[in-house]
């Protein structure tokens, strides 16, 4: 199946609220089930439930990751970053270097291709040194690219994204009196620029295992205006435009790294190799807030390793029998042992 990369290009001064349980904390990425819900709500709003609902079970997509558009003179190139695999790597003896390896969270598609070609199936670890400057370059403590993708003149530790705390006032719904001050965490994009001819523009992207039909294109057009994440009513999480192109995702292999937040089928439980779980919960949204919590469940985090074949499954999570609510749990992954991405 052909895979598309859908790039979400931000407005200037872009901010997004990724909920993480507390108002003063923020998640590191938008999970695939959140993206799925936003797309489905946009599709139903645009085309109606009868027309769009049959497409729901066929959707297969990744979580939302980070990208950088690097402009140098009259040329530009895009760097796409994926989660570092949640598995063992060769560890350096120096404790300082071990901490540096642990802090790394995101690797470019070219770097990930190199990593996935060096998995030791017997030892169940990646036999590659991520701290080797001849192979990899750190843009900052969390982001790493292959040496071929080095950005000339870019200083290490430059920031592309930062967490901001915005002061808010809680108001009583009974008497409209102030209940006190609190702070809300948001992710803000930074736009580094050296000269008029050299700049970096951060953006978000996700992978979509689907041909983009006219209905899906219309859904995406509405989706970027509706927004993603929390605080959309105040303009957070909305995008200027979107674009797409084919993405060479490796899909044939004995093991794959998950690029989505996946829920295994009962018969797939023995396929898990190296993984972390996350609790998924939230409120029901059906054309608007309903005020009811969805049934909670656990899912595998992005970057987990599983044996193939591994499909995952969607779950019915509505607490109301008259309303359908689907939690996305299908698996989209990067197969180990092959070249892929932008290499």
Taking only the tens place, the pLDDT of each residue in 195-216 is 677 788 999 999 999 888 899 9
On whether residue 342 sits in a domain, the answer given is no
Its sign, for the CA torsion 189, 166, 232, 290, is positive
For the chain, how many residues are written?
Answer: 343
- What pTM, to 2 d.p., does this model score? 0.91
% of the chain with per-residue pLDDT over 70: 92
Contact 87, 94 (CB under 8 A): no
On whether residue 341 sits in a domain, the answer given is no
The domain containing residue 68 runs over which residues?
A: 4-335
DSSP state of 23: T
- 106-108/143-146 β-pairing: parallel
On whether residue 171 sits in a domain, the answer given is yes
On whether residue 143 sits in a domain, the answer given is yes
On whether residue 340 sits in a domain, the answer given is no
On whether residue 67 sits in a domain, the answer given is yes
**Tens of pLDDT, residues 165-188:** 777 777 777 777 777 787 778 888
**Tens of pLDDT, residues 253-293:** 899 999 999 999 999 999 999 999 999 987 776 666 667 78
Q: What are phi and psi of 28, to 5 degrees?
A: -85, -15
Contact 131, 90 (CB under 8 A): no
On whether residue 47 sits in a domain, the answer given is yes
Alpha carbon distance 314, 317 (integer Å): 9
Contact 332, 61 (CB under 8 A): yes
Contact 98, 92 (CB under 8 A): yes
Query: How many domains is the chain built from?
Result: 1
On whether residue 97 sits in a domain, the answer given is yes
**pLDDT per residue as tens, the chain (343 positions):** 689 999 999 988 888 888 776 766 778 899 999 999 999 989 989 998 888 878 888 899 999 999 999 988 888 999 999 999 999 998 888 888 999 999 999 999 999 999 999 999 888 899 999 999 999 999 999 999 999 998 877 766 778 888 887 777 777 777 777 777 877 788 888 887 766 777 889 999 999 998 888 999 999 999 999 989 877 777 788 999 999 999 999 988 899 999 999 999 999 999 999 999 999 987 776 666 667 788 899 999 999 999 999 999 999 887 777 777 788 999 999 999 766 555 5
Alpha carbon distance 89, 231 (integer Å): 38
């Amino acid at each position: 199946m052909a895979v598309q990369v859908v790039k979400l290009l931000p407005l200037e001064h872009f901010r997004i609220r990724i909920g993480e349980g507390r108002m003063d904390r923020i998640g590191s990425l938008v999970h695939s089930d959140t993206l799925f819900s936003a797309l489905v709500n946009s599709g139903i709003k645009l085309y109606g439930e009868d027309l769009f609902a049959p497409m729901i079970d066929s959707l297969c997509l990744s979580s939302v990751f980070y990208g950088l558009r690097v402009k140098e003179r009259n040329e530009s190139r895009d760097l796409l970053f994926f989660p570092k695999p949640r598995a063992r790597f060769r560890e350096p003896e120096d404790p300082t270097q071990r901490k540096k390896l642990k802090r790394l969270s995101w690797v470019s598609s070219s770097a990930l291709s190199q990593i996935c070609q060096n998995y030791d199936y017997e030892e169940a670890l990646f036999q590659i040194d991520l701290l080797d400057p001849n192979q990899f370059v750190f843009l900052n403590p969390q982001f790493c690219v292959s040496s071929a993708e080095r950005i000339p003149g870019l200083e290490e530790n430059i920031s592309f994204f930062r967490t901001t705390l915005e002061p808010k006032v809680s108001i009583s719904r009974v008497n409209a009196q102030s209940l006190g001050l609190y702070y809300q965490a948001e992710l803000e994009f930074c736009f580094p620029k050296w000269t008029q001819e050299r700049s970096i523009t951060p953006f978000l992207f996700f992978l979509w295992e689907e041909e983009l039909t006219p209905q899906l294109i219309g859904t995406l057009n509405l989706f970027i205006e509706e927004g993603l994440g929390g605080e959309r009513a105040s303009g957070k999480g909305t995008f200027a435009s979107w674009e797409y192109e084919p993405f060479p995702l490796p899909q044939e292999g004995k093991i794959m790294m998950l690029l989505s937040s996946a829920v295994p089928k009962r018969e797939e439980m023995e396929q898990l190799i190296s993984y972390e779980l996350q609790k998924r919960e939230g409120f029901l949204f059906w054309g608007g807030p309903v005020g009811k919590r969805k049934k909670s469940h656990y899912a595998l985090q992005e970057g987990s390793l599983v044996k193939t074949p591994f499909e995952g499954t969607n779950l019915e999570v509505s607490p109301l029998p008259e309303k359908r609510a689907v939690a996305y749990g299908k698996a989209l992954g990067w197969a180990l042992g092959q070249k892929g991405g932008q290499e």
